[in-house]
C-alpha cells in the first residue's frame, strides 16, 4: 500500500507480496501513483538486499526486521525503520543502493535533511561556500570528527573530535574543504546555520 507522509510516500507490501496503491490521500498525484507497479516494490526488496550486504561487510549478525507500514519513500531514497539502541534505521539511495546506516541522537527529520544534503553517517568531503565567515566555519568544524594523524603520525582507527586548540590551525590549513570527515553529529548546527546564518555548503561521500 502507498500512503502520504507530507511530500513523501509510504510504501509497503501486502501479505501476498503484491503492491497496493492508495490514491485518495494524494489527490494531486493519482496519475503518478497509478504508474507505479510491482517493480517498485521489488526495488524495495533490492534495498533490503543492499542492507543485508552492508550487514555482511560490517560482520553484523542481526536479521533485518521492520514494520512495513513505517517505510518512507521519496523519489530519491527509502527509509527502512530497522532500529535499536544506537541505530535510527537505514536510508537506501534509489540511484546506487548506497546504505546510510543512521546513528542515534538525531530526530528522523534531521536525518532526512542531512541525507538530502549529502551529510551521511559516514566519512564525507565537506566544502563550505568560499565566502563563509571563517568564525562560523570554526564553530561548525568543532562539531566534525576527523581521520587526521596525531602528533606522532598515527592515524585513528575511527573518527575523533578536534581539540579546541586545533581549530584555528585546521581552519587556516583546510578551509573551505574538509576531506574525510564525519559530520553527522553536526547536522543540527548545520541546519540552524543554513536557516539563520546564510550557510551554504556541498557534501559528498569520501572516496
Burial pattern 87-115, b for ≥16 Cβ within 10 A else e, equals: ebbbbbbbeebbbbbbeeebeeebbbbbb
Higher pLDDT, 171 or 36: 171
Residue 204 pLDDT class (50, 70, 90 cuts): very high
Residue 76 has pLDDT above 70, yes or no: yes
Q: What is the CB neighbour count within 10 angstroms for residue 126?
A: 25
Residue 151's pLDDT is 85
Assign residue 122 a region (left: φ > 0; alpha: ψ between -120 and 50; beta: otherwise).
Answer: beta
**pLDDT tens for residues 106-164?**
999 999 999 999 999 999 999 999 999 999 999 999 999 999 998 899 999 999 999 99
> Which of these ranges, 27-36, 94-103, 139-148, has the smallest mean pLDDT?
27-36
Amino acid at each position: 500500500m502507498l500512503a502520504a507522509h507530507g511530500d513523501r510516500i509510504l510504501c509497503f507490501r501486502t501479505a501476498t507480496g503484491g503492491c497496493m496503491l492508495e490514491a485518495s490521500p494524494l489527490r494531486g498525484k493519482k496519475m503518478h501513483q497509478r504508474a507505479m507497479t510491482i517493480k517498485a516494490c521489488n526495488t524495495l526488496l533490492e534495498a533490503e538486499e543492499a542492507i543485508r550486504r552492508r550487514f555482511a561487510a560490517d560482520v553484523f549478525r542481526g536479521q533485518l526486521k521492520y514494520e512495513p507500514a513505517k517505510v518512507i519513500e521519496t523519489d530519491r531514497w527509502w527509509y527502512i525503520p530497522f532500529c535499536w539502541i544506537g541505530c535510527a534505521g537505514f536510508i537506501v539511495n534509489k540511484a546506487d543502493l548506497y546504505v546510510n546506516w543512521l546513528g542515534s541522537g538525531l530526530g528522523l527529520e534531521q536525518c532526512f535533511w542531512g541525507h538530502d544534503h549529502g551529510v551521511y553517517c559516514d566519512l564525507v568531503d565537506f566544502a563550505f561556500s568560499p565566502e563563509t565567515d571563517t568564525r562560523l566555519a570554526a564553530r561548525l568544524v568543532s562539531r566534525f570528527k576527523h581521520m587526521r594523524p596525531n602528533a606522532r603520525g598515527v592515524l585513528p582507527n575511527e573518527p575523533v573530535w578536534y581539540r579546541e586548540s586545533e581549530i584555528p590551525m585546521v581552519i587556516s590549513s583546510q578551509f573551505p574543504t574538509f576531506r574525510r570527515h564525519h559530520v553527522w553529529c553536526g547536522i543540527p548546527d548545520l541546519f540552524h546555520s543554513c536557516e539563520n546564518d546564510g550557510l551554504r555548503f556541498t557534501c559528498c561521500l569520501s572516496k
